[in-house]
Amino acid sequence: MKIAILHAPRDLRIEEQTVAADNLRGDEIHVETRISAFKIGTDRGNYEGAEQVPGAPDYPRSVGDSNLGIVRAVGSDVTRFRTGDRVVGIMPHQSEYVVAESGYVVKVPDGVHDEDAVYAWLYALSSLCFRKAFFQPGEYVAVVGLGVLGLGAVALGRFLGARIIAIGNSAVRLEMADRMGAQLSCLSDDPDLRGKLDKVTRGAGIDLVIQTANPWSAYRTSVEIVRPDGRVAIVALPGRGESPLDFNPLDMKWFYQKGISLIAVSGQTGHLYPNRSARFDRCRECEYILDLMADGGLEPKRLITHRFHYSEMTEAYEMAYRREKNMLGVIFQWNEPS
The tens digit of pLDDT for each residue in 89-145 reads 999 999 999 999 999 999 999 999 999 999 999 999 999 999 999 999 999 999 999
- Using pLDDT thresholds of 50, 70 and 90, give the confidence band for residue 272: low
Sign of CA dihedral 157, 39, 94, 26: negative
Higher-scoring residue by pLDDT: 330, 54: 330
The confidence score (pLDDT) of residue 241 equals 78
Q: Give the pLDDT band (50/70/90) at residue 312.
A: very high
Q: How confident is the model at residue 244 (pLDDT cuts 50, 70, 90)?
A: confident
> Above 70 in pLDDT, residue 37?
yes
Confidence of residue 56 (pLDDT cuts 50, 70, 90): low
pLDDT of residue 44: 85
Q: Count CA atoms within 13 Å of residue 152 on its CB side.
A: 32
Does 278 have pLDDT greater than 60? yes
CATH class of 2-121+302-333: alpha beta
Q: How far apart are alpha carbons 321 and 291 in whole angstroms? A: 34
Cis peptide before 60 (omega within 30 of 0): yes
The pLDDT of residue 52: 65
Higher pLDDT: 19 or 70? It is 70
Dist CA 226 CA 261 (whole Å): 10
The reported pLDDT for the residue numbered 59 is 86
- In the chain, the percentage of residues whose pLDDT exceeds 70 is 93
Cβ-contact 241, 51 below 8 angstroms = yes
Supply the pLDDT for residue 277. 60
State the pLDDT at residue 269: 65
Instruction: Please give the average per-residue pLDDT across 173-191, as a whole number.
Output: 95
**Residue 78 reports pLDDT greater than 70:** yes
What per-residue string of b and e applies to 166-182 under the rule 16 or more CB within 10 Å gives b? bbbbbeebbebbeebbb
pLDDT at 332 over 70: yes
In whole angstroms, give the CA distance from residue 302 to residue 329: 8
| pLDDT > 90? residue 27 | yes
What pLDDT score was predicted for residue 239? 87
pLDDT number for residue 270: 60
**Section 287-303 average pLDDT:** 92
Q: How confident is the model at residue 20 (pLDDT cuts 50, 70, 90)?
A: confident
Tell which CATH architecture fits domain 134-264.
3-Layer(aba) Sandwich (3.40)
pTM of the model: 0.90
pLDDT band at 300 (very low <50, low <70, confident <90, very high): very high
Q: What is the pLDDT of residue 17?
A: 94
**What are the φ and ψ backbone dihedral angles of 219, each rounded to 5 degrees?**
-60, -45
Q: Where are the domains of the chain?
A: 2-121+302-333, 134-264
